[in-house]
Amino acid sequence: MLEILMAGGWGMLPILLCSAVAVAIILERFWTLRRKAVVPPGLGDEVREWARTRQLDPNHLKALQANSPLGELLAAALTVRNRPREVIRERVEDTGRHVVHRLERFLNTLGTIALISPLLGLLGTVFGLTRMFFAVMVSGVGDPMKMAGGIGEALVCTAAGLCVAIPAYVLHRYFRSRVSGLVVEMERQVFLLTDELTALAETAPAAPAARVAAV
């Protein structure tokens, strides 16, 4: 394998660098975008129960905000829980933009690697063919070994660029789809909490009135 990589010449260096960066991004995104890390199971039900029982002190909100991306969104809604529904929605949208930006971290870099890797392979191919033509100019077509070196360099660079680009492109699309699915689930949990807070706000004024009527 090492001999094959060395046969690609110096054009292999940027391709290998791209492959190392792509592997690091892929491993980091697989770890960060775990479902239980982004949308912990049962968190939405627990937070709605907090809202029903009024167990919402600042310590609860701080712990919730640091819990996960979903927790950060729910904490943003609870921070302005006594405000109108429109205000709650605006606060969640503002927080959600930052959360989604973090979920999509490094994906643009991965997409760029998927785009430029074939171009780097093509560049190595051009240099390999150029080397072959210079060898032909110097020694003619009588020395096939010199021609084979240039052709081998061209083929290795092309293959290496494609080997980096194809997985990077596939996983880039996969991570984009995964982020979209997680965002939809977080939106659902936020809507359920918002409905719960709206219902609590509507029933809260009725309780004092009922007590006064009873007196």
pTM confidence score: 0.81
Query: Does residue 98 have a pLDDT over 50?
Result: yes
Q: Which residue has the higher pLDDT, 4 or 28?
A: 28
- Two tokens, residue 107: 């994906």
Model confidence pLDDT, tens digit, residues 41-79 = 999 888 888 888 776 778 878 888 888 999 999 999 888
Burial class, 19, CB count within 10 angstroms (exposed 0-12 / middle 13-18 / buried 19+) = buried
At residue 197, the pLDDT reads 83
Q: Which residue has the higher pLDDT, 213 or 42?
A: 42
Burial grade of 120 (CB within 10 A; 0-12, 13-18, 19 or more): buried
- Give CA–CA dist 43/77, Å, rounded: 14
pLDDT-based confidence at residue 1 (cuts at 50, 70, 90): low
In tens, the pLDDT along 162-174 reads 999 999 999 999 9
Give the model's pLDDT for residue 167.
Answer: 96
**For 54-84, where are the alpha helices, taking DSSP H only?**
58-67, 69-79
Q: Which residue has the higher pLDDT, 199 or 95?
A: 95
Q: What integer pLDDT is reported at residue 207 of this predicted model?
A: 43
Question: How is residue 112 written in tokens?
Answer: 């760029």
Sequence-distant (≥ 6) Cβ neighbours of residue 48 within 8 angstroms: 192, 193, 196
Say if residues 190 and 85 touch (Cβ distance below 8 Å): no
What is the residue-averaged pLDDT of the chain? 83
Place of tokens 């001999």: 3
pLDDT grade for 85, boundaries at 50, 70 and 90 = confident
Q: Output the pLDDT for position 49.
A: 85
62 burial type by CB count under 10 A (0-12 exposed, 13-18 middle, 19+ buried): exposed
Higher pLDDT residue, 158 or 104? 104
- Among 25-34, 158-167, 203-212, which stretch is predicted with the lowest mean pLDDT? 203-212
List the chain domain ranges.
2-200
In this prediction, residue 125 carries a pLDDT of: 82
Residue 110: name the closest of 206, 29, 195 by CA: 29
Contact 157, 146 (CB under 8 A): no
